Structure 1
């Protein structure tokens, strides 16, 4: 079993405890502690993502059909994770209005990235329908 989740959980709990203790004295520093904790966790996750991208690269090299859609799927996943991660940070900092706009921007970007896939599906349907 991979023990990294225990390290991430420990870092998260330490960040919460330290932030809660500091919040009583200097509330503005509590936000910085939360941001630092989140960034440390994010950096730990990035190292795991390299293995995921190596795996996806191997899959991409093995497929013969749909290679044009594979990068689009990866971009959609990246936008979804980044938008969600950023919105959570904004929400944790008390900026729910900004969090909502980040989520909206993520949804718009996903729709924008999906347009070529939708066009391909529509072209395929048109080819299959009798003229």
Structure 2
């Protein structure tokens, strides 16, 4: 089994349970980052509420800017997750196209939800629904090659 020590996510590893200071500092750093993101989100929400009564267009801009800043915090986490999944893919001998498809699907899901929520906040529910529908269709389109490969594998085992 490959060791995931740098990622602090190996559940059965004795190294982690030994109380390594590197793991403790990584966990503290992630906890502090989550607190920062929560405070940033709440601050953006409160400022947006203040502007909602007077200048409503500023309220939407504040929500959008807050979301983009939070997304920029998430990029580092996504890079870590990507490297862990690639290591797992190498360990289990999974093709890189499946890992790439998984990341594309995750990205489409996140972007569709982000854009849809902004449209809902702005009061454009119909556009939000269309974004969600297109996101679902995109996921279906990306999953078709994976489903065909799975069916091919099953038919090989059965035939």
Where on the TM-score scale, by shorter chain, does this alignment land: which range?
0.7 to 0.9
Segments of 5+ residues of structure 2 without an aligned counterpart are 1-27
Partner residue in 1 for 2:43: 14
Aligned residues: 130
TM-score w.r.t. length of structure 2: 0.73
SS in 1 for 2:93: coil
Tell me by how many angstroms 1:70 deviates.
2.3
Instruction: Identify if the C-alpha distance between structure 1 residues 32 and 124 changes in structure 2 by more than 3 Å, giving closer, same or farther.
Output: same
Partner residue in 2 for 1:112: 141
Tell me by how many angstroms 1:59 deviates.
2.2
Instruction: Identify if the C-alpha distance between structure 1 residues 65 and 58 changes in structure 2 by more than 3 Å, giving closer, same or farther.
Output: closer
After superposition, give the CA deviation of every residue in 1:70-107 in whole Å (9 maximum; x if it has no partner).
22222222211221122111111211111111111111
After superposition, give the CA deviation of every residue in 1:21-68 in whole Å (9 maximum; x if it has no partner).
112221111111111111111111112212112222222333324444
Matched, 1:44 2:73: yes
Segments of 5+ residues of structure 1 without an aligned counterpart are none
2:150 and 2:158 mapped to 1: Cα distance? 12
Where does 1:117-128 land on structure 2 (aligned, <5 Å)?
117-128=146-157
